[in-house]
Amino acid sequence: MTNKRSLVDVINPEIRDFLVEMGAEDIYKCYQCGKCSSICPWFQVGTYDFPIFRLSLETALGMVASSEDKKELEEEVDKLYRCVGCEACVDQCPHGINIPNILRAARRLLVDFGSYPDILKSIVQKIHDVGNPLGEEREKRSDWAKQLNVPNFQPGIEYLYFACCIPSYDPRVQNVAQATVRILQKSGCSFGILGVQENCCGEAIRRIGAEKVFKEVTKANISSFESAGVEKILVTSPHCYTSFKNDYPEFGANFEVFHITQYFSGLIEKGKIQPIKRFDKKVVYHDPCNLGRQNGIYEEPRNILRNIPGLELLEVENFNRSLSVCCGAGSGALWMEWEKDERIGDIRINQLVDTGAEIIAVACPYCLQMFEETIKSMELNIEVMDVAEILWESIG
Amino acid sequence: MDIIVCIKRVPQTAEAKVEIESSGKDIVKDRLTFDINESDTYALEEAVLLKEKFGGTITVISLGCSDADDTLRIALAKGADTAIRIKAEDFDELDGYKTAQLLSAVIKDIHFDVIFTGCIATDDAYSQIGATLAELLGIPHATLVTNIEVIDSISHVHRELEGGLQEHIEIFLPALFTIQTGINVPRYASLIAIKRAAGKEIKLVGQNEISKDQLLLNTQIEELFIPPVAKQVKIITGSPGEVSEELAGIIREKGLI
Ligand code: SF4
Ligand code: SF4
């Protein structure tokens, strides 16, 4: 928001009411303390002005994305899409205000009127048309499992393993799904996949603001899960976890959802799998926002890593667990392109590299992709592995 | 300057798997999303830019069923003042010529200096409406416009030709232009404009306003089909001896030697 216009000119109660109707009701709780801004990763980036504490006030005044000047409006819309939905602010706000939700109210209106970044439009389109953000063929969704003898889910099988779109298609990340399946097979777990009947969980597009398409894919998923008789779901992605566990119940779903690290940690505790091979590396664990802060799963991935012989587990002091900094890929940001010096991923990678680790352990396909891209662009010498990949190396 | 922009709501098929419906004359649309035709967004933006410069009004017109109201409302939010929908449901089968006749029946009663259309619709790719509509209205036109500047009722227009060539022509207004993508950067709609557009009336024009008697259909779709794969790739594997033997066999079989 620029200060070129007088405040009286821009106050617009109608816009405020419009946004409150779309889910921004938290705005009235904000007392402008600014705590949210101090924790927001954009504050650490420092080169892009993102004073998020002002947003509740601006929304209450009806000043969001409201400029009628083309250039100014572009900047305002860009600002709305800078939030990576990490919810660090939600965690810190004394009044529990959900700022990404306030932003999402505006995003929903903009999406309905085709007024959001083209790259995100194409992601929403791909998820709608072929069920994944990569635009890959639906028929190839289970190709990653071809050599692995994974049964199709059917009644009598205990768990549905939902691999997420990126591990299903991306040649690098497929290895995560494959390692996961191998561990599950070794443990004797009863599981199957749904392959072509799966759609993207829709977490990212809901956060982009494409609520209508989100509802469509959600209903399609719920119906194919239910008609296959699915009750329990194992997920690789914390984003799928959030969707299935927190978002889908709004639409009548009632699945028991487990992140794969919860399940593996349990298998180790019960002695059903034993990491025995040494993994003599220094490993730093990065808490994915959707797994840690948003769903309280901090211990299980660490427990897996601690059980691997030879592995030295490192922490990012001051910026781990609930204070972990986002990889920069949430809420659609994985697909956005920002200036070289305006990237959250760079900040986080530096914190991880500074621990002296040889390997960054992640438990989220978005974090994996984002970090690998960041490492390439920064020409760093550090490797990224999913916790499941490390565990399989120690078992397999 | 009073400007008319003709827009079309089209299915988005770039990412989708397109299937032919049982009549064999249309594609299956129930799983597709719809949006404003790509070059029409540039046509609308060009209108808004001209209006910002010269003042005046923008009227958007679309021939479509009630779903097209959403597309018209987006156009209202992005800078149009008035929206008219010609009720497609009233006019049975349509082709490019009939569409142009319907548009001209509505436009002849409106004052305008400029008409913009997109240069091609991404669904049927006829590229007919602009030129036909201009002829029906008796005004000059230019197609595939990539730049336009208006000085004293004369428009200086660049047209895109094959091979990267550009043609510069001058046309007296009123005139019609079909707009090429990339001529400008289409804008976002602001929340204020969205709110305003949400409450605006869309004027409906149907068979009570336009007589169906004189409408002609020039073309009829015989069949819509997905072309058979023209070229096939065969990957030959095996030892060099096996590969060359099989290759020689194929060449012989096809009568190439
Ligand atoms: S932390 Fe909460 S109360 Fe404080 S400014 Fe941010 S949103 Fe408002
Ligand atoms: S969710 Fe994260 S990126 Fe978005 S405003 Fe809150 S702290 Fe900032």
What pTM did the predictor assign?
A: 0.91
Q: Is residue A155 part of a domain?
A: yes
Summary count for chain B: helices (H), strands (E): 6, 11
Q: Is residue A229 part of a domain?
A: yes
> Distance between CA atoms of A51 and B27, rounded to whole angstroms?
48
pLDDT beyond 60 at B26: yes
Report the candidate in A331, A334, A324 with the shortest Cα–Cα distance to residue A362.
A324
Which ligand 1 atom is the nearest neighbour of the CA of A29?
3
What pLDDT score does A343 carry?
A: 94
Do A70 and B187 count as a contact with CB atoms less than 8 A apart? yes
Whether residues A127 and A250 share a domain: the answer is yes
Q: What percent of chain B has pLDDT over 90?
A: 78
At A370, which CATH number?
3.40.50
CB of A328 sitting under 6 A from ligand 2: no
**CA distances from residue A182 to A175, A177, A230, A259 in whole angstroms, order as listed:** 10, 9, 21, 16
Going from the Cα of A48 to the center of ligand 2, the distance in angstroms, rounded, reads 13
Whether residues A325 and A391 share a domain: the answer is yes
What pLDDT score does A5 carry?
A: 59
The pairing of strands B114-118 and B34-36 is unpaired
Whether residues A316 and A295 share a domain: the answer is yes
What pLDDT score does A138 carry?
A: 93
* B74 at interface of A, judged by CB pairs closer than 8 A: yes
CB of A36 sitting under 6 A from ligand 1: yes
Helix, strand, coil fractions of chain B, as percent rounded to 5 = 30, 25, 45
Number of domains chain A contains: 3
Q: What residues does each domain of chain B span?
A: 3-205
Report the candidate in A177, A357, A178, A190 with the shortest Cα–Cα distance to residue A281.
A357
pLDDT beyond 60 at B82: yes
pLDDT by residue, tens only, chain A of 396 residues? 444 556 666 678 888 988 999 889 999 999 999 999 999 999 999 999 898 999 888 898 888 998 989 999 999 999 999 999 999 999 999 999 999 999 999 999 999 999 999 999 999 999 999 999 999 999 999 999 999 999 999 999 999 999 999 999 999 999 999 999 999 999 999 999 998 899 999 999 999 999 999 999 999 999 999 999 999 999 999 999 999 999 999 999 999 999 999 999 999 999 999 999 999 999 999 999 999 999 999 999 999 999 999 999 999 999 999 999 999 999 999 999 999 899 999 999 999 999 999 999 999 999 999 999 999 999 999 999 999 999 999 997
Q: Is residue A3 part of a domain?
A: no
- Domain end, chosen from A116, A133, A153, is at A116
- Domain end, chosen from A98, A116, A134, is at A116
Nearest CB partner across the interface for A68, out of B14, B193, B195: B193
What pLDDT score does B56 carry?
A: 97
Do A114 and B35 count as a contact with CB atoms less than 8 A apart? yes
Report the candidate in B233, B53, B70, B222 with the shortest Cα–Cα distance to residue B151.
B53
Residue nearest to atom 4 of ligand 1 (CA): A33
**CA distances from residue B160 to A162, B20, B165 in whole angstroms, order as listed:** 49, 33, 6
Query: How does pLDDT run across A170-207, given as a tens digit for each residue?
Result: 999 999 999 999 999 999 999 999 988 999 999 999 99
SS3 label, residue A111 = helix
Q: Name the residue of chain B whose CA is nearest to A75's CA.
A: B188
Whether residues A147 and A191 share a domain: the answer is yes
Which ligand 2 atom is the nearest neighbour of the CA of A90?
6
- Chain A residues whose CB is inside 8 A of the B15 CB are 122, 125-126, 128-130, 135
Helix (H) or strand (E) holding B131: helix B129-137
Whether residues A162 and A292 share a domain: the answer is no
Whether residues A251 and A339 share a domain: the answer is no
Summarize the confidence of residues B217-232 as an average pLDDT.
85
> Distance between CA atoms of A206 and A89, rounded to whole angstroms?
19
For a substitution probing ligand 2, which of A86, A107, A287 has the most ligand atoms within 8 Å of its CB?
Answer: A86
Whether residues A83 and A141 share a domain: the answer is no
Report the candidate in A159, A121, A100 with the shortest Cα–Cα distance to residue A331.
A100
Whether residues A84 and A193 share a domain: the answer is no
Q: Is residue A4 part of a domain?
A: no
What pLDDT score does A1 carry?
A: 47
- Domain end, chosen from A116, A136, A156, is at A116
Whether residues A289 and A375 share a domain: the answer is yes
Q: Name the residue of chain A whose CA is nearest to B74's CA.
A: A113
Q: Which domain holds residue A53?
A: 10-116
CATH topology classification for B3-205: Rossmann fold (3.40.50)
Could you count the other beta carbons within 10 Å of the beta carbon of residue A14?
Answer: 13
At A71, which CATH number?
1.10.1060
**CA distances from residue B14 to A314, A391, B34, B99 in whole angstroms, order as listed:** 46, 40, 11, 24
Model ipTM?
Answer: 0.88
Nearest CB partner across the interface for B192, out of A12, A125, A126: A12
Whether residues A212 and A314 share a domain: the answer is no
Residue nearest to atom 3 of ligand 1 (CA): A30
Whether residues A41 and A105 share a domain: the answer is yes
Whether residues A155 and A68 share a domain: the answer is no
